[in-house]
Amino acid sequence: MTAPEAIKNVGLFGHGGSGKTTLAESLLYASGATTRMGDVEQGNTTTDFDEEEIKRKISINAAMASVDWKGTHVAFVDTPGYADFVGDAISTVRVVDTACMVISGVDGVEVQTEIMWERAGEAGVPRMIYVSKLDRERASFERTMDDIRETIGGNVVPLMLPIGEEHCFKGVIEIFSGKAFEPDGQGKSKEVPVPDDLANALADALDKLTEAVAETDDSLLEKYLEEGELTPDEITGGLKTGVRDGSLIPVLCGSASKGIGVPEFLDFVNSVLPMPSDMPDVAGTLPGKDEEVTRPRTSDGPMCALVFKTLADPYVGKLTYFRVFSGVFKADSSVINSSRGKTERIGQVYHVTGKEQTSVPELRAGELGAVAKLSETFTGDTLCDKDKPIVLPRIEYPAPVMALAVAPKTKGDEDKLSTALGRVREEDPMLMVRRDTDVNQTIISGAGETHIDVVVEKMRRKFGADVVTDLPRVPYKETIRKSVESEGKHKKQTGGHGQYGHAFLRLEPRQRSEGYEFQDKIVGGSIPRQYIPGVEKGVVAAMNDGYLAGYPLVDMKVTLYDGSFHAVDSSELAFKMAASKAMRDGVAKADPVLLEPIVDVEVTVPDQFMGDVIGDLNSKRGRILGMQPKGKMQVVSAQVPLSEMRRYSIDLRSITGGRGVFTMEFSHYEEVPEHIASKIIEQAKKEKEES
């Protein structure tokens, strides 16, 4: 077993296509954990093993890869870089001790890198940077460093210099050791002389590094000011301190596909990055209380672990990934899920690399692992000792931005649909599933169009449920604008008992969102008490059916004030029919209108896109409520009809190149403009005729 002092946990974050999966593959190969170097294009990498990942050639799920390097057990988590799958990246931030941002030396700092950089900073996770793909055409370490300083800022310090550029890139120089390395063709490195033309650049870089490191510690700064230099050990010690407290951001570089700089990357992880025991005690609360408690990040404390990922498999069952923060997580034991107050029986416990699971007797504080077939545990839950319960803060995910309606493709898919939705929801915290009774549709909401496409494909492939998707119907409503009185009479004679009901109703509009009110003002017994419920049922049925386009009537008061009955032929049903007729006639005279839902929208974008975003919202019949700065971004607040926002995630991504994010929540209902209402009513009538 590996002791906590020999553990490092590193998350690989960055924009899609920046080289995270290739870096993970190269680290496995360089450490001897694998005997061949996989390739994303060929679909044979360790961390992209899902069928959809292989088909699309992108990471969809966070995947673990563990290596042993010079006595240290290093767990890497390769995270998705596309916005649609950001949920797994957000989960990973909570369970790693360092966030490594992988930045393409060709493309520079991209959107998802900025987003995850902010997330890691907010979570207090130490950060570092790896500049990848320096062997590619148009790659430039110098240009990328300028971009990093301008976009991310902070005390960014290179620890390596590239030897050569683009196709001539062949090695790296470690600045603090002054040594140069090139790959040996077997996944390892060989030391080579520092090229003469880089000697001055190395000396200059070492001065800057030494100065940056000295500023992390008063005693180092004093020595540096007196002697003008620091020893390699002092530089390493200062780097450790600077990385841990966030005052220094180290930058490494290389080409993972060619193995350049990869062993040196592992050496840096081993010698500089923080261990679990270097981090502050983990904080949580007592179950059901606000009282804060902490746990030491050591194996001799009470056990507590956070679940950061769930995989649902129809054959293997559910696989739960977790990080042990304190104590020892043992196989064949019982733990409590303190988030839900449930006891879970633990069977085998695993170390995981890609899709391979290795059974271990226990996992100690700081380790990442997995356990199968937990019935009551989901992503974000805390597992802990029964005697020392603690609830760790849940993982916070952004709200879904794209919604689609799903329906079974065939009758045979109906039964499978609810099961499939339940299972994919278990493993995907960014997915929301709800039944919209207003429009009679099942709605799934996610982080974008591709996210929902993958969910639909997963339901078909994993759980045999074929579905069709469509934009959700807008839950329009109807109401009235005038007070009217109306009469409804239902009279039928068919031999034997007939049917007779007769009611007078007063219809009055109410304020928006005041809802429906029924008032009984019958006096003198013109309608017997036992028939009054029939009248109300008729009113409610007519309101549900609507008048203009079949949408429910809302915000009105209906008063029953007179009527008549027949001693033999009257019944509750007859009065229900009479009330429905009175409602139809009354609504027709009461100036009915169509209402549409309005949503509050907040769009966060860089300055340069603000004009385009405001113009687009105006074109969607939006009302701009205000603008305010938020760091380097601008937040635009607006109210927009829901009907105009159903594909907004796609529109915003197109306008801002993926740099904009938005939130949306229901605000209120408003009247639909007449020219738009007429089209909606016409379409509703057409659909009714067709059905």
**DSSP result, 71-121:** TEEEEEEE---SGGGHHHHHHHHTT-SEEEEEEETTTBS-HHHHHHHHHHH
> Given this model, what pLDDT does residue 314 score?
66
Distance CA 309, CA 88 (A): 7
- Cα 256 to the center of its chain, rounded Å: 28
> Given this model, what pLDDT does residue 101 score?
97
Work out the pLDDT band at 1, boundaries 50, 70, 90: very low
Distance CA 330, CA 305 (A): 12
Its CATH architecture, for the domain 596-676, is: 2-Layer Sandwich (3.30)
> Given this model, what pLDDT does residue 627 score?
94
Work out the pLDDT band at 401, boundaries 50, 70, 90: confident
Q: Determine the average pLDDT of the residues in 660-687.
A: 91
Distance CA 479, CA 549 (A): 11
DSSP-based three-state secondary structure for 332? coil
Can you say whether residue 132 is alpha, beta or left, with left for phi > 0 and alpha for psi between -120 and 50 degrees? beta
Can you say whether residue 289 is alpha, beta or left, with left for phi > 0 and alpha for psi between -120 and 50 degrees? beta
Do 272 and 250 meet the contact criterion of CB atoms below 8 Å apart?
yes
Q: Determine the average pLDDT of the residues in 206-230.
A: 88
Q: Determine the average pLDDT of the residues in 343-356.
A: 93
DSSP-based three-state secondary structure for 241? helix
Work out the pLDDT band at 606, boundaries 50, 70, 90: confident
Distance CA 222, CA 225 (A): 5
Q: Determine the average pLDDT of the residues in 589-610.
A: 94
Cβ neighbours for 291, distance < 8 A, ≥ 6 positions apart: 285
Query: Looking at the predicted structure, is the pLDDT value of residue 2 above 70?
Result: no
Least confident of 34-43, 88-97, 334-343: 34-43
**Closest CA relative to residue 560, chosen from 482, 507, 504, 516:** 504
Q: Are domains 478-590 and 596-676 of this chain identical in fold? A: no
Q: Determine the average pLDDT of the residues in 348-361.
A: 92
Q: Does domain 478-590 have CATH number 3.30.70.3270?
A: no
Query: Looking at the predicted structure, is the pLDDT value of residue 321 above 70?
Result: yes
DSSP-based three-state secondary structure for 384? strand
Provide the residue type at 188 as one letter.
K
> Given this model, what pLDDT does residue 632 score?
72
Least confident of 249-253, 488-492, 494-498, 656-660: 494-498
Tokens of 485: 């009185």
Query: Looking at the predicted structure, is the pLDDT value of residue 262 above 50?
Result: yes
Q: For residue 137, with 0-12 CB atoms within 10 Å meaning exposed, 13-18 middle and 19 or more buried, which class applies?
A: exposed
Q: Determine the average pLDDT of the residues in 453-462.
A: 92
Mean pLDDT estimate for the chain: 92
Could you report the per-residue pLDDT of 270-283, keeping only the tens digit for each?
999 999 989 999 99
Query: Looking at the predicted structure, is the pLDDT value of residue 128 above 90?
Result: yes
Q: Determine the average pLDDT of the residues in 165-180.
A: 94
> Given this model, what pLDDT does residue 4 score?
45
Query: Looking at the predicted structure, is the pLDDT value of residue 440 above 90?
Result: no
Could you report the per-residue pLDDT of 479-531, keeping only the tens digit for each?
999 999 999 999 987 666 789 999 999 999 999 989 999 999 998 889 999 99
CATH superfamily of domain region 4-193+248-278: P-loop containing nucleotide triphosphate hydrolases (3.40.50.300)
> Given this model, what pLDDT does residue 427 score?
87
**Closest CA relative to residue 15, chosen from 125, 152, 84, 113:** 113
Cβ neighbours for 83, distance < 8 A, ≥ 6 positions apart: 111, 112, 115, 447, 448, 653, 658
Distance CA 242, CA 403 (A): 43
Q: Give, as one character, the DSSP assignment of residue 168.
A: G
Give the distance between the most distant pair of CA atoms in the chain.
116
| Domain ranges, ordered by start, for the chain | 4-193+248-278, 402-470, 478-590, 596-676
- HSE at residue 675, side-chain half, CA atoms within 13 A, is 0
> Given this model, what pLDDT does residue 496 score?
67
* 593-to-138, 432, 537 alpha-carbon distances in Å: 60, 32, 23
Angle 232-245/199-214 helices, nearest 10 degrees? 60
* Assigned fold of 402-470: Alpha-Beta Plaits (3.30.70)
Neighbours of 544 (CB within 10 A): 11
> Given this model, what pLDDT does residue 169 score?
96
Query: Looking at the predicted structure, is the pLDDT value of residue 261 above 90?
Result: yes
Tokens of 677: 């209402």
> Given this model, what pLDDT does residue 405 score?
95
Q: Give the whole-number percent of the chain exceeding pLDDT 90.
A: 76
